[in-house]
A and B are shown apart, each in its own frame.
Chain A
Protein backbone atom coordinates (compact mmCIF):
# COMPACT_ATOMS: atom_id res chain seq x y z
CA UNK A 1 0.00 0.00 0.00
CA UNK A 2 1.40 3.40 -0.98
CA UNK A 3 0.33 6.39 1.03
CA UNK A 4 2.22 9.55 0.16
CA UNK A 5 -0.46 12.24 0.35
CA UNK A 6 -3.15 12.50 3.00
CA UNK A 7 -5.95 15.00 3.42
CA UNK A 8 -7.11 15.33 7.03
CA UNK A 9 -10.48 17.03 7.39
CA UNK A 10 -11.35 18.62 10.71
CA UNK A 11 -8.78 20.54 12.75
CA UNK A 12 -10.19 19.68 16.18
CA UNK A 13 -8.30 17.59 18.73
CA UNK A 14 -8.49 14.38 16.73
CA UNK A 15 -7.82 15.92 13.31
CA UNK A 16 -4.85 17.77 14.72
CA UNK A 17 -3.36 14.63 16.24
CA UNK A 18 -3.96 12.56 13.11
CA UNK A 19 -2.39 15.23 10.87
CA UNK A 20 0.63 15.46 13.18
CA UNK A 21 1.09 11.69 13.26
CA UNK A 22 0.94 11.33 9.46
CA UNK A 23 3.42 14.18 8.96
CA UNK A 24 5.73 12.40 11.41
CA UNK A 25 5.60 9.37 9.08
CA UNK A 26 7.12 11.59 6.36
CA UNK A 27 3.81 11.81 4.53
CA UNK A 28 2.55 15.02 2.92
CA UNK A 29 -0.50 16.19 4.87
CA UNK A 30 -3.10 18.76 3.94
CA UNK A 31 -5.23 19.97 6.84
CA UNK A 32 -8.70 21.20 5.98
CA UNK A 33 -11.33 22.76 8.19
CA UNK A 34 -14.54 24.61 7.46
CA UNK A 35 -12.94 27.46 9.43
CA UNK A 36 -9.55 28.17 7.84
CA UNK A 37 -8.40 30.36 10.74
CA UNK A 38 -9.06 27.43 13.07
CA UNK A 39 -6.99 25.16 10.81
CA UNK A 40 -4.10 27.65 10.92
CA UNK A 41 -4.34 27.78 14.70
CA UNK A 42 -4.26 23.94 14.78
CA UNK A 43 -1.21 23.95 12.52
CA UNK A 44 0.52 26.43 14.86
CA UNK A 45 -0.21 24.10 17.79
CA UNK A 46 1.31 21.18 15.89
CA UNK A 47 4.42 23.27 15.10
CA UNK A 48 4.71 24.21 18.78
CA UNK A 49 4.37 20.56 19.76
CA UNK A 50 7.20 19.59 17.38
CA UNK A 51 9.39 22.39 18.80
CA UNK A 52 8.79 21.07 22.32
CA UNK A 53 9.56 17.52 21.21
CA UNK A 54 12.78 18.76 19.60
CA UNK A 55 13.79 20.55 22.84
CA UNK A 56 13.20 17.30 24.73
CA UNK A 57 15.37 15.41 22.25
CA UNK A 58 12.55 13.28 20.90
CA UNK A 59 13.15 14.56 17.34
CA UNK A 60 16.19 16.17 15.70
CA UNK A 61 16.14 19.69 14.25
CA UNK A 62 16.30 18.13 10.77
CA UNK A 63 13.35 15.86 11.45
CA UNK A 64 11.21 18.70 12.75
CA UNK A 65 12.12 20.88 9.78
CA UNK A 66 11.09 18.05 7.50
CA UNK A 67 7.78 17.48 9.32
CA UNK A 68 6.97 21.18 9.03
CA UNK A 69 7.43 21.16 5.27
CA UNK A 70 4.97 18.28 5.04
CA UNK A 71 2.05 19.95 6.80
CA UNK A 72 -0.04 22.43 4.86
CA UNK A 73 -3.31 24.14 5.68
CA UNK A 74 -5.79 24.22 2.78
CA UNK A 75 -9.34 25.37 2.18
CA UNK A 76 -12.02 23.79 0.02
CA UNK A 77 -10.75 25.71 -3.02
CA UNK A 78 -7.08 24.91 -2.61
CA UNK A 79 -7.32 21.20 -1.72
CA UNK A 80 -5.09 19.13 -3.98
CA UNK A 81 -7.29 16.59 -5.79
CA UNK A 82 -4.46 14.05 -6.01
CA UNK A 83 -4.69 12.44 -2.57
CA UNK A 84 -4.02 8.83 -1.60
CA UNK A 85 -6.14 8.99 1.53
CA UNK A 86 -8.80 11.25 3.00
CA UNK A 87 -9.39 10.99 6.76
CA UNK A 88 -12.50 12.74 7.97
CA UNK A 89 -12.47 13.89 11.60
CA UNK A 90 -15.15 16.59 11.47
CA UNK A 91 -18.12 17.15 13.79
CA UNK A 92 -19.86 13.92 14.94
CA UNK A 93 -23.07 14.50 12.98
CA UNK A 94 -24.20 11.98 10.39
CA UNK A 95 -25.84 14.46 8.00
CA UNK A 96 -22.83 16.81 8.08
CA UNK A 97 -20.40 13.96 7.50
CA UNK A 98 -22.43 12.54 4.59
CA UNK A 99 -22.61 15.95 2.97
CA UNK A 100 -18.87 16.39 3.41
CA UNK A 101 -18.12 13.04 1.72
CA UNK A 102 -20.42 13.95 -1.19
CA UNK A 103 -18.48 17.20 -1.64
CA UNK A 104 -15.13 15.44 -1.48
CA UNK A 105 -16.29 12.81 -3.95
CA UNK A 106 -16.49 15.59 -6.55
CA UNK A 107 -13.09 17.05 -5.68
CA UNK A 108 -10.76 14.10 -5.16
CA UNK A 109 -9.41 11.53 -7.60
CA UNK A 110 -11.29 8.23 -7.66
CA UNK A 111 -8.20 6.34 -6.53
CA UNK A 112 -8.28 8.19 -3.20
CA UNK A 113 -9.32 6.02 -0.24
CA UNK A 114 -12.00 7.63 1.94
CA UNK A 115 -11.83 7.00 5.68
CA UNK A 116 -13.77 8.25 8.66
CA UNK A 117 -12.52 8.67 12.21
CA UNK A 118 -16.10 8.51 13.52
CA UNK A 119 -16.51 6.88 16.90
CA UNK A 120 -20.15 6.01 16.37
CA UNK A 121 -21.56 5.96 12.83
CA UNK A 122 -21.60 2.84 10.63
CA UNK A 123 -19.44 3.11 7.51
CA UNK A 124 -22.34 1.80 5.44
CA UNK A 125 -24.45 4.82 6.46
CA UNK A 126 -21.62 7.28 5.87
CA UNK A 127 -20.88 6.16 2.31
CA UNK A 128 -24.39 5.10 1.28
CA UNK A 129 -24.80 8.17 -0.98
CA UNK A 130 -21.50 7.70 -2.78
CA UNK A 131 -20.99 5.94 -6.10
CA UNK A 132 -20.01 2.26 -6.00
CA UNK A 133 -16.41 3.03 -6.94
CA UNK A 134 -16.06 5.19 -3.81
CA UNK A 135 -17.92 2.78 -1.54
CA UNK A 136 -15.38 0.12 -2.50
CA UNK A 137 -12.64 2.39 -1.14
CA UNK A 138 -14.33 3.41 2.08
CA UNK A 139 -13.52 2.30 5.62
CA UNK A 140 -13.23 3.49 9.20
CA UNK A 141 -9.89 4.40 10.74
CA UNK A 142 -10.61 5.19 14.37
CA UNK A 143 -7.66 6.77 16.17
CA UNK A 144 -7.43 7.37 19.91
CA UNK A 145 -6.52 10.58 21.65
CA UNK A 146 -3.72 11.67 21.60
CA UNK A 147 -3.26 10.15 18.14
CA UNK A 148 0.49 10.73 18.14
CA UNK A 149 0.92 8.64 21.29
CA UNK A 150 -1.90 6.12 21.44
CA UNK A 151 -0.95 3.06 19.44
CA UNK A 152 -4.39 1.68 18.72
CA UNK A 153 -6.24 2.20 15.44
CA UNK A 154 -9.57 0.44 14.93
CA UNK A 155 -9.78 -0.50 11.24
CA UNK A 156 -13.47 -0.78 10.50
CA UNK A 157 -14.96 -2.61 7.56
CA UNK A 158 -18.31 -1.54 6.21
CA UNK A 159 -20.68 -3.47 4.01
CA UNK A 160 -18.81 -2.50 0.85
CA UNK A 161 -15.26 -2.43 2.21
CA UNK A 162 -13.17 -5.05 0.42
CA UNK A 163 -11.48 -7.40 2.87
CA UNK A 164 -8.15 -6.73 1.16
CA UNK A 165 -8.38 -2.97 1.72
CA UNK A 166 -8.81 -3.44 5.47
CA UNK A 167 -6.00 -6.00 5.52
CA UNK A 168 -3.72 -3.61 3.63
CA UNK A 169 -4.30 -0.95 6.29
CA UNK A 170 -3.62 -3.48 9.05
CA UNK A 171 -0.27 -4.25 7.42
CA UNK A 172 0.52 -0.60 6.73
CA UNK A 173 -0.23 0.61 10.28
CA UNK A 174 1.78 -2.29 11.68
CA UNK A 175 4.76 -1.12 9.61
CA UNK A 176 4.31 2.37 11.07
CA UNK A 177 4.42 0.89 14.64
CA UNK A 178 0.75 1.41 15.35
CA UNK A 179 -1.40 -1.43 16.72
CA UNK A 180 -4.28 -1.84 14.31
CA UNK A 181 -7.23 -4.11 15.07
CA UNK A 182 -9.77 -5.21 12.54
CA UNK A 183 -13.39 -4.81 13.49
CA UNK A 184 -16.80 -4.95 11.94
CA UNK A 185 -19.01 -1.87 11.94
CA UNK A 186 -21.12 -2.06 15.07
CA UNK A 187 -22.14 0.63 17.56
CA UNK A 188 -19.10 1.83 19.52
CA UNK A 189 -16.89 -0.56 17.52
CA UNK A 190 -14.70 -2.31 20.14
CA UNK A 191 -13.39 0.18 22.68
CA UNK A 192 -16.37 2.48 23.07
CA UNK A 193 -18.63 -0.53 23.44
CA UNK A 194 -16.63 -2.75 25.79
CA UNK A 195 -15.57 0.20 27.98
CA UNK A 196 -19.15 1.38 28.59
CA UNK A 197 -19.55 -0.65 31.76
CA UNK A 198 -16.29 0.57 33.25
CA UNK A 199 -18.36 3.70 33.84
CA UNK A 200 -21.86 2.24 33.89
CA UNK A 201 -21.25 -0.38 36.56
CA UNK A 202 -19.24 2.07 38.67
CA UNK A 203 -22.25 4.38 38.60
CA UNK A 204 -24.54 1.48 39.58
CA UNK A 205 -22.32 0.75 42.59
CA UNK A 206 -22.08 4.39 43.66
CA UNK A 207 -25.82 4.74 43.08
CA UNK A 208 -26.02 8.37 44.26
CA UNK A 209 -23.91 11.49 44.51
CA UNK A 210 -21.43 10.46 47.18
CA UNK A 211 -17.88 11.75 46.77
CA UNK A 212 -16.45 9.32 49.32
CA UNK A 213 -17.92 6.40 47.41
CA UNK A 214 -16.58 7.74 44.08
CA UNK A 215 -13.12 7.98 45.65
CA UNK A 216 -13.39 4.46 47.06
CA UNK A 217 -14.42 2.99 43.69
CA UNK A 218 -11.60 4.86 41.92
CA UNK A 219 -9.10 3.65 44.50
CA UNK A 220 -10.17 0.02 44.11
CA UNK A 221 -10.06 0.15 40.31
CA UNK A 222 -6.59 1.71 40.39
CA UNK A 223 -5.03 -0.27 43.26
CA UNK A 224 -6.77 -3.62 42.75
CA UNK A 225 -7.80 -3.49 39.09
CA UNK A 226 -4.56 -1.90 37.88
CA UNK A 227 -6.38 0.69 35.76
CA UNK A 228 -4.38 3.90 35.27
CA UNK A 229 -7.36 5.98 36.35
CA UNK A 230 -10.59 5.10 38.16
CA UNK A 231 -13.94 5.54 36.38
CA UNK A 232 -15.01 8.75 38.14
CA UNK A 233 -11.69 10.52 37.74
CA UNK A 234 -11.69 9.47 34.08
CA UNK A 235 -15.25 10.68 33.46
CA UNK A 236 -14.30 14.03 35.01
CA UNK A 237 -11.32 14.23 32.66
CA UNK A 238 -13.23 13.22 29.52
CA UNK A 239 -16.19 15.42 30.40
CA UNK A 240 -19.33 13.95 31.98
CA UNK A 241 -21.41 15.41 29.13
CA UNK A 242 -19.20 13.77 26.47
CA UNK A 243 -19.32 10.42 28.27
CA UNK A 244 -23.09 10.70 28.69
CA UNK A 245 -23.53 11.48 25.00
CA UNK A 246 -21.46 8.42 23.95
CA UNK A 247 -23.40 6.22 26.40
CA UNK A 248 -26.71 7.42 25.03
CA UNK A 249 -25.59 6.93 21.45
CA UNK A 250 -24.45 3.32 22.08
CA UNK A 251 -27.58 2.59 24.16
CA UNK A 252 -29.93 3.80 21.42
CA UNK A 253 -27.92 2.00 18.74
CA UNK A 254 -28.50 -1.23 20.66
CA UNK A 255 -32.25 -0.56 20.77
CA UNK A 256 -32.07 0.69 24.36
CA UNK A 257 -30.59 -2.57 25.68
CA UNK A 258 -30.60 -2.39 29.51
CA UNK A 259 -26.89 -3.15 29.85
CA UNK A 260 -26.02 0.12 28.09
CA UNK A 261 -28.62 2.33 29.80
CA UNK A 262 -27.20 5.61 31.12
CA UNK A 263 -27.39 6.07 34.88
CA UNK A 264 -29.76 8.80 36.17
CA UNK A 265 -26.81 10.37 37.97
CA UNK A 266 -25.15 11.16 34.62
CA UNK A 267 -28.23 13.06 33.52
CA UNK A 268 -28.38 14.96 36.82
CA UNK A 269 -24.71 15.92 36.60
CA UNK A 270 -25.10 17.18 33.03
CA UNK A 271 -28.31 19.08 33.83
CA UNK A 272 -26.59 20.83 36.74
CA UNK A 273 -23.54 21.68 34.59
CA UNK A 274 -21.23 19.56 36.76
CA UNK A 275 -19.28 18.33 33.76
CA UNK A 276 -15.93 17.45 35.32
CA UNK A 277 -12.56 19.18 35.28
CA UNK A 278 -13.55 21.66 32.58
CA UNK A 279 -16.24 23.19 34.80
CA UNK A 280 -14.27 22.86 38.05
CA UNK A 281 -16.78 20.41 39.45
CA UNK A 282 -17.88 16.94 38.49
CA UNK A 283 -17.71 13.79 40.54
CA UNK A 284 -14.92 15.64 42.35
CA UNK A 285 -14.24 19.34 43.01
CA UNK A 286 -11.30 21.08 41.30
CA UNK A 287 -10.71 24.30 43.21
Chain B
Protein backbone atom coordinates (compact mmCIF):
# COMPACT_ATOMS: atom_id res chain seq x y z
CA UNK B 1 0.00 0.00 0.00
CA UNK B 2 1.24 3.45 -0.79
CA UNK B 3 -0.02 6.63 0.78
CA UNK B 4 0.18 8.61 -2.44
CA UNK B 5 -1.67 8.75 -5.71
CA UNK B 6 -0.31 9.71 -9.10
CA UNK B 7 -2.25 12.28 -11.04
CA UNK B 8 -1.08 12.48 -14.63
CA UNK B 9 -1.94 13.87 -18.07
CA UNK B 10 -1.74 11.44 -20.99
CA UNK B 11 0.89 13.52 -22.78
CA UNK B 12 3.41 13.21 -19.92
CA UNK B 13 6.49 11.18 -21.01
CA UNK B 14 6.08 8.88 -17.97
CA UNK B 15 2.46 8.03 -18.78
CA UNK B 16 3.27 5.00 -20.96
CA UNK B 17 5.76 3.64 -18.43
CA UNK B 18 3.28 4.01 -15.57
CA UNK B 19 0.56 2.22 -17.54
CA UNK B 20 2.96 -0.49 -18.74
CA UNK B 21 4.18 -1.24 -15.21
CA UNK B 22 0.68 -1.41 -13.81
CA UNK B 23 1.35 1.45 -11.40
CA UNK B 24 -1.89 2.94 -10.06
CA UNK B 25 -2.67 6.37 -11.41
CA UNK B 26 -5.48 8.82 -11.93
CA UNK B 27 -6.02 10.73 -15.13
CA UNK B 28 -5.99 14.52 -14.87
CA UNK B 29 -9.53 15.63 -14.05
CA UNK B 30 -10.12 12.96 -11.39
CA UNK B 31 -9.88 13.87 -7.71
CA UNK B 32 -7.30 11.94 -5.67
CA UNK B 33 -8.33 10.59 -2.28
CA UNK B 34 -4.83 9.91 -0.84
CA UNK B 35 -3.24 12.58 1.38
CA UNK B 36 -0.19 12.84 -0.92
CA UNK B 37 -0.34 13.48 -4.63
CA UNK B 38 2.44 13.04 -7.18
CA UNK B 39 1.22 15.46 -9.77
CA UNK B 40 2.59 14.80 -13.28
CA UNK B 41 0.36 17.06 -15.34
CA UNK B 42 1.72 18.98 -18.31
CA UNK B 43 -0.29 22.14 -17.79
CA UNK B 44 0.25 25.83 -18.23
CA UNK B 45 0.73 28.03 -15.17
CA UNK B 46 -2.95 29.03 -14.94
CA UNK B 47 -4.24 25.45 -15.06
CA UNK B 48 -1.51 24.28 -12.70
CA UNK B 49 -2.58 26.90 -10.17
CA UNK B 50 -6.24 25.92 -10.56
CA UNK B 51 -5.34 22.28 -10.01
CA UNK B 52 -3.32 22.99 -6.89
CA UNK B 53 -6.08 25.18 -5.49
CA UNK B 54 -8.44 22.23 -5.87
CA UNK B 55 -5.92 20.09 -3.93
CA UNK B 56 -5.53 22.50 -1.03
CA UNK B 57 -5.65 19.89 1.73
CA UNK B 58 -3.13 17.58 0.00
CA UNK B 59 0.63 17.35 0.14
CA UNK B 60 1.72 17.84 -3.47
CA UNK B 61 4.88 16.59 -5.16
CA UNK B 62 4.72 18.20 -8.57
CA UNK B 63 6.44 17.96 -11.92
CA UNK B 64 7.88 21.45 -12.35
CA UNK B 65 10.06 20.80 -15.39
CA UNK B 66 8.52 23.67 -17.34
CA UNK B 67 7.76 26.13 -14.55
CA UNK B 68 9.31 28.68 -12.26
CA UNK B 69 9.35 26.22 -9.39
CA UNK B 70 10.86 28.58 -6.86
CA UNK B 71 8.04 31.09 -7.34
CA UNK B 72 5.23 28.53 -7.36
CA UNK B 73 6.50 26.78 -4.24
CA UNK B 74 6.52 30.05 -2.37
CA UNK B 75 2.95 30.67 -3.45
CA UNK B 76 1.71 27.15 -2.62
CA UNK B 77 3.18 25.90 0.67
CA UNK B 78 1.46 22.51 0.26
CA UNK B 79 3.95 21.73 -2.51
CA UNK B 80 6.49 19.71 -0.53
CA UNK B 81 8.52 18.35 -3.37
CA UNK B 82 9.16 18.72 -7.08
CA UNK B 83 10.63 16.70 -9.92
CA UNK B 84 11.75 17.22 -13.52
CA UNK B 85 10.29 14.10 -15.08
CA UNK B 86 8.86 15.76 -18.20
CA UNK B 87 12.38 15.76 -19.65
CA UNK B 88 13.30 12.08 -20.05
CA UNK B 89 16.91 11.36 -19.21
CA UNK B 90 19.15 9.20 -21.40
CA UNK B 91 20.32 7.63 -18.13
CA UNK B 92 16.87 6.99 -16.63
CA UNK B 93 17.54 9.53 -13.89
CA UNK B 94 15.52 12.47 -12.65
CA UNK B 95 16.26 15.62 -10.69
CA UNK B 96 14.13 16.23 -7.64
CA UNK B 97 13.82 18.66 -4.77
CA UNK B 98 12.00 18.09 -1.50
CA UNK B 99 11.19 20.18 1.53
CA UNK B 100 10.89 17.32 4.04
CA UNK B 101 12.27 13.84 4.67
CA UNK B 102 8.76 12.44 4.18
CA UNK B 103 8.52 14.04 0.73
CA UNK B 104 11.93 12.63 -0.18
CA UNK B 105 10.79 9.18 0.89
CA UNK B 106 7.66 9.38 -1.28
CA UNK B 107 9.58 10.57 -4.32
CA UNK B 108 12.19 7.85 -3.93
CA UNK B 109 9.45 5.23 -3.64
CA UNK B 110 7.91 6.54 -6.83
CA UNK B 111 11.26 6.57 -8.66
CA UNK B 112 11.92 3.00 -7.59
CA UNK B 113 8.60 1.88 -9.07
CA UNK B 114 9.48 3.57 -12.35
CA UNK B 115 13.07 2.27 -12.31
CA UNK B 116 14.41 5.83 -12.23
CA UNK B 117 17.38 7.10 -10.23
CA UNK B 118 16.62 10.27 -8.27
CA UNK B 119 19.25 13.00 -8.19
CA UNK B 120 18.63 15.59 -5.47
CA UNK B 121 19.15 19.32 -6.10
CA UNK B 122 18.94 22.25 -3.70
CA UNK B 123 16.05 23.98 -5.46
CA UNK B 124 13.93 23.54 -8.58
CA UNK B 125 14.84 27.04 -9.75
CA UNK B 126 13.21 27.67 -13.13
CA UNK B 127 12.98 24.32 -14.90
CA UNK B 128 15.65 22.63 -12.76
CA UNK B 129 19.09 22.07 -14.39
CA UNK B 130 18.96 19.41 -17.12
CA UNK B 131 15.70 20.62 -18.72
CA UNK B 132 17.00 24.18 -18.84
CA UNK B 133 20.41 23.42 -20.37
CA UNK B 134 19.12 20.84 -22.83
CA UNK B 135 16.29 23.14 -23.98
CA UNK B 136 18.80 25.87 -24.82
CA UNK B 137 20.98 23.40 -26.75
CA UNK B 138 17.96 22.11 -28.68
CA UNK B 139 16.75 25.66 -29.40
CA UNK B 140 20.16 26.54 -30.89
CA UNK B 141 20.16 23.37 -32.99
CA UNK B 142 16.80 24.48 -34.45
CA UNK B 143 18.21 27.96 -35.12
CA UNK B 144 21.18 26.38 -36.94
CA UNK B 145 18.88 24.26 -39.08
CA UNK B 146 16.66 27.29 -39.75
CA UNK B 147 19.80 29.14 -40.95
CA UNK B 148 20.50 26.14 -43.22
CA UNK B 149 23.88 25.54 -41.61
CA UNK B 150 23.25 21.79 -41.78
CA UNK B 151 20.52 19.19 -41.73
CA UNK B 152 19.04 17.87 -38.48
CA UNK B 153 20.80 14.56 -39.09
CA UNK B 154 24.18 16.27 -39.59
CA UNK B 155 23.69 18.38 -36.46
CA UNK B 156 22.83 15.30 -34.41
CA UNK B 157 25.89 13.45 -35.72
CA UNK B 158 28.16 16.44 -35.13
CA UNK B 159 27.12 16.76 -31.49
CA UNK B 160 27.44 13.03 -30.84
CA UNK B 161 30.79 12.50 -32.49
CA UNK B 162 32.36 15.93 -32.02
CA UNK B 163 31.61 16.45 -28.32
CA UNK B 164 30.26 13.08 -27.17
CA UNK B 165 26.68 14.16 -26.49
CA UNK B 166 24.64 11.13 -25.43
CA UNK B 167 22.21 11.86 -28.29
CA UNK B 168 21.79 14.56 -30.89
CA UNK B 169 19.62 17.60 -30.04
CA UNK B 170 16.91 16.68 -32.57
CA UNK B 171 16.73 13.11 -31.29
CA UNK B 172 16.43 14.47 -27.74
CA UNK B 173 13.77 16.96 -28.83
CA UNK B 174 11.72 14.12 -30.24
CA UNK B 175 11.89 12.23 -26.94
CA UNK B 176 11.08 15.24 -24.78
CA UNK B 177 8.48 16.84 -27.04
CA UNK B 178 8.73 20.33 -28.44
CA UNK B 179 5.74 21.46 -26.39
CA UNK B 180 7.64 21.08 -23.08
CA UNK B 181 10.81 22.67 -24.49
CA UNK B 182 8.91 25.73 -25.73
CA UNK B 183 6.91 25.94 -22.48
CA UNK B 184 10.14 26.04 -20.47
CA UNK B 185 11.85 28.59 -22.72
CA UNK B 186 8.75 30.82 -22.57
CA UNK B 187 8.69 30.49 -18.78
CA UNK B 188 12.39 31.46 -18.61
CA UNK B 189 11.74 34.45 -20.86
CA UNK B 190 8.74 35.55 -18.77
CA UNK B 191 10.49 35.04 -15.42
CA UNK B 192 13.83 36.64 -16.31
CA UNK B 193 12.90 39.08 -19.09
CA UNK B 194 16.10 37.93 -20.81
CA UNK B 195 16.03 37.89 -24.62
CA UNK B 196 18.41 34.90 -24.67
CA UNK B 197 15.37 32.65 -24.26
CA UNK B 198 13.79 33.65 -27.57
CA UNK B 199 12.36 30.51 -29.17
CA UNK B 200 13.30 29.51 -32.72
CA UNK B 201 10.26 29.88 -34.98
CA UNK B 202 10.51 26.34 -36.37
CA UNK B 203 10.58 24.91 -32.86
CA UNK B 204 7.56 26.97 -31.84
CA UNK B 205 5.66 25.91 -34.96
CA UNK B 206 6.47 22.27 -34.23
CA UNK B 207 5.14 22.67 -30.69
CA UNK B 208 1.81 23.88 -32.03
CA UNK B 209 1.25 20.84 -34.26
Q: Give A contacts to B, CB under 8 Å.
A: 144, 150-152, 154, 179, 181-184, 186, 189-191, 193-198, 200-202, 204-205, 213, 216-217, 219-221, 223-228, 231, 258-259, 261
Q: Is the CB of B194 within 8 A of A225?
A: no
B119 within 8 A of A: yes
Q: Is the CB of B195 within 8 A of A258?
A: yes
Q: Which of B121, B132, B158, B163 contacts A216 (CB 8 A)?
A: B121
Q: Is the CB of A183 within 8 A of B154?
A: yes
Q: Is the CB of B129 within 8 A of A190?
A: no
B93 within 8 A of A: yes
B73 within 8 A of A: no
Instruction: Give every chain A residue within 8 A of B117 (Cβ-Cβ).
Output: 223
Q: A194 and B141 in contact (CB under 8 A), knowing A184-B149, A226-B89?
A: yes
Instruction: Give every chain A residue within 8 A of B130 (Cβ-Cβ).
Output: 220-221, 224-225
Q: Is the CB of A198 within 8 A of B194?
A: no
How far does the alpha carbon of A226 sit from the alpha carbon of B95 in the complex, in Å? 13
B51-71 to A contact mask, C-beta < 8 Å, 1/0: 000000000000000000000
B34 within 8 A of A: no
Q: Which residue of A lies closest to B125 (CB)?
A: A205
Q: Is the CB of A228 within 8 A of B164?
A: yes
Q: A223 and B133 in contact (CB under 8 A), knowing A152-B157, A181-B157, A261-B196?
A: no
B122 within 8 A of A: yes
A-B contact count (CB 8 A): 138
Q: Which residue of A lies closest to B148 (CB)?
A: A184
List residues 123-158 of chain B with CB under 8 A from any CB of chain A.
Answer: 125, 128-130, 132-134, 136-137, 139-141, 144, 147-151, 154-155, 157-158
Which of B144, B148, B166, B194 lies at the interface centre, i.e. has the most chain A CB atoms within 10 A of its CB? B144
Q: In the complex, how many angstroms separate the beta carbon of B134 from the nearest chain A beta carbon?
A: 7
B14 within 8 A of A: no
How far does the alpha carbon of A183 sit from the alpha carbon of B145 in the complex, in Å? 10
Q: In the complex, how many angstroms separate the beta carbon of B185 from the nearest chain A beta carbon?
A: 10
B90 within 8 A of A: yes
Q: Is the CB of A201 within 8 A of B133?
A: yes
Q: Is the CB of B90 within 8 A of A226?
A: yes
Q: In the complex, how many angstroms separate the beta carbon of A218 from the nearest chain B beta carbon?
A: 10
Which of B130, B133, B159 lies at the interface centre, i.e. has the most chain A CB atoms within 10 A of its CB? B133
Q: Return 15 A-B CB contacts under 8 Å, by A number.
A: A144-B162, A154-B162, A190-B162, A191-B158, A191-B162, A194-B155, A194-B159, A197-B133, A197-B136, A198-B133, A205-B132, A221-B129, A224-B95, A259-B136, A259-B196
B21 within 8 A of A: no
Q: Is the CB of B95 within 8 A of A190?
A: no
Q: In the complex, how many angstroms separate the beta carbon of B189 from the nearest chain A beta carbon?
A: 11
B94 within 8 A of A: yes
Q: Is the CB of B89 within 8 A of A225?
A: yes
Q: Is the CB of A227 within 8 A of B119?
A: no
Q: In the complex, how many angstroms separate the beta carbon of A88 from the nearest chain B beta carbon?
A: 20
Instruction: Give every chain B residue within 8 A of A193 (Cβ-Cβ).
Output: 140, 144, 149
B78-100 to A contact mask, C-beta < 8 Å, 1/0: 00000010000111011100000
Q: A201 and B136 in contact (CB under 8 A), knowing A217-B129, A220-B130?
A: yes
Q: Is the CB of A223 within 8 A of B119?
A: yes
Q: Which residue of B lies closest to A144 (CB)?
A: B162
How far does the alpha carbon of A198 sit from the alpha carbon of B125 in the complex, in Å? 17
New A-B pairs, 7, CB < 8 Å, besides A194-B159, A213-B122: A144-B163, A152-B162, A191-B159, A194-B137, A197-B133, A220-B95, A221-B133
How far does the alpha carbon of A150 sit from the alpha carbon of B161 in the complex, in Å? 7
Instruction: Give every chain A residue within 8 A of B136 (Cβ-Cβ).
Output: 197, 200-201, 259
Q: Is the CB of A197 within 8 A of B154?
A: no
